[in-house]
Structure 1
Amino acid sequence: MFDRPRTSSQPVPRRARVHAVRALTGTMVRTTLRDADGADPAAPSSLAALRAPGPEDHVKVFLPDPATGALHAPTLAPDGGLQRATGGVSVSREMTVRATRTVDGAAEVDVDWVRHDGGGPASAWAARAAVGDEIVLAGPASSLGVPTGIGRLTLVVDETGLPAAARWVDAVGADVPVTAIVEIGDDVDESFVEAELGRADVEILYRTDGPGQMVESVRSLGALDDDEYVVALGEAGELAAVRRCLRQDLGLGRDRATVAGYWRRGTVNLDPDAPLDPADPD
């Protein structure tokens, strides 16, 4: 049985500005963030105080009002939760922390975005993000570490799960074999995916080839090793079938897999706590 250590903390809001923007591949963009001008780098609200040790750790990103450009920052409520600002539009999304580091004494945080044609305000913001733009990061409120005792890691992701998958590869021991099944759009470069996942053995699936490829690739793995752990992250509808396959066909218990929907076709701002399949919420 695998046990993932969990730590919790207050989701402190941190005002940040875009320090750099890098087009990664196709519709993917990386924003590098630093503290907003005038911030105290020693304060709990600085990016230097942000801790994201778990490979899937995410922050709630608050974006400017699409109509006015005003940024309505949340505050920390007395109960330790987040209180949204009143009197203005507050757009937020859950985003994976791709990397944190310190450069020339300044704390930096990387966040990778997937832009969608005809997407919502987050996709639109990422498409036009420029140096100097300001946003707010809140969290992470909790962190799940890597289970001890993993002998093999299997990743099943799409572009939205790629940042967390890359962190998983870095987080497990160098002696742990990693297999990655990655579904991408035609505008995503295979070489970028392979570079992000480093030493992993990568299988690329193209979304344009039709639905159901993820679950078929998982099924083709056959029996899994007793010390194998599976992480599946991406579109909720696809992953509902993957979870059923892991549980019913491959006999994997809940303690040996993490499956999370990061988005759902036809849904804007999917609740990360929503069940993958409302008809089968477990």
Structure 2
Amino acid sequence: MPTRERIRHDLAVRRTTVERVSWLTDTMVRVTVLGESLRGFSAPGPNDHVKLFFPDPESGVLTTPEITAEGLKRPTDGLILSRDFTPLNFRENGSNGLPELDIDFVIHGDDAPATSFASHAHAGQELGIAGPRGSKLVPEGISRAVLIADETALPAYTRWLRLLPPEVKVTPIVQIQDDETEDYLTDEHRSRGTLEVLYREDGPGQLIEAVRSLGSIEDDTYVWAAGEANELVEVRRHFRRDLGLSKDQVEVEGYWKRGIVNLDHHAPLDPSDPD
């Protein structure tokens, strides 16, 4: 049965500066931040996440929380806008010898804090970063990994591919909006297994159909899926209930949910079936 080691990290809140902005597709943008405060940053788990703190969109002032014995304490004054994101690439020695961190954003076309920041990000702008508080390393004792991701989970999917041992067979399923979003996928994403790409614009039901077509799952296979919470409820039920896989073998994460602002991805994906 697969096992995943957990690592705890000292909590740190880092103030960084945008170094460059790179549009990867019409709806995905990479923001690279740097700063001495990133020295020693560590995120060894494939689906680690950090909390980003965005400047006030009107004043441009960045307010970050304080670290207390209980965790992060938000000040009573100053607007704090935050969201959880996957840190993609970290370079201890980047531009001018300073540490750099790449973070990829999906532009949803609304005025949410993350979308607003990423859509108008520019060099010199500040960004606060806290975490990760902990990491779950890639599973040990597996010969195969089933990886399922939508646009918001593509950075984590990228990290899974990089961190899994080369001898582990990968079965990847990616669901995206349309073929323009597919430009994000590089040779790196297609190098492990036969990548199945689903287009959301082709209609509902494709994801669960692709999942069911996988057939039985062996004991030495680990399943990770992340994306829109509603679509993943049925996916999780299939693996956990229909196939009877244990919670140690399956991790399904709702990174966002239609109609919900700032979804708590730590909450149960399916409240009626929290285990």
TM-score range, shorter chain: over 0.9
Structure 1 residue aligned with 2:155: 163
Mapped pair 1:50 → 2:41: yes
- Residue number in structure 1 paired with 2:7: 7
**Kindly tell me: are residues 248 and 78 of structure 1, through their superposed partners in 2, closer, same or farther at Cα, counting changes over 3 Å?**
closer
Tell me the distance in 1 between the aligned counterparts of 2:33 and 2:259.
30
Secondary structure of the residue aligned to 2:165 is coil
Q: State the distance in 2 between where 1:168 and 1:34 align.
A: 24
Deviation at 1:240, TM superposition (A): 0.9
Which of residues 199, 204, 224 in structure 2 aligns to 1:231?
Answer: 224
Could you tell me how far 1:280 is from its partner in structure 2?
Answer: 2.2
**Aligned residue for 1:149?**
141
Alignment-mate amino acid for residue 172 of structure 2: A
Query: Residues 4-45 of structure 1, C-alpha deviation per residue, up to 9 Å, x if partnerless?
Result: 10111232100001111111122111111101xxxxx3xxxx
> What residue number does 2:52 align with?
61
- 1:165: how far off? 0.7
Contact 1:178 1:199 in 2 (8 A): no
Tell me the equivalent position of 1:29: 29
Partner of residue 112, structure 2: 120
Structure 1 pair 267–195 and aligned structure 2 pair: CA distance change class (3 A): farther
Contact in 2 for aligned 1:27/1:187 (Cα 8 Å): no
Give the structure-1-normalised TM-score.
0.92
Whole-Å separation in 2 of the counterparts to 1:153 and 1:19? 35
Question: Gaps (5+ residues) in structure 1?
Answer: 36-40
SS at match of 2:39: helix
In the aligned structure 1, how far is the partner of 2:81 from the partner of 2:138? 31
Moved over 6 A (4+): none
> Would you say how many aligned residue pairs link Structure 1 and Structure 2?
272
* 1:94 paired to 2:84: yes
Task: Give me the CA root mean square deviation.
Answer: 1.5
1:185 and 2:177 correspond: yes
Structural mapping, 1:193-204, within 5 Å: 193-200=185-192, 201-204=194-197
Q: What is the SS of the residue equivalent to 1:11?
A: coil
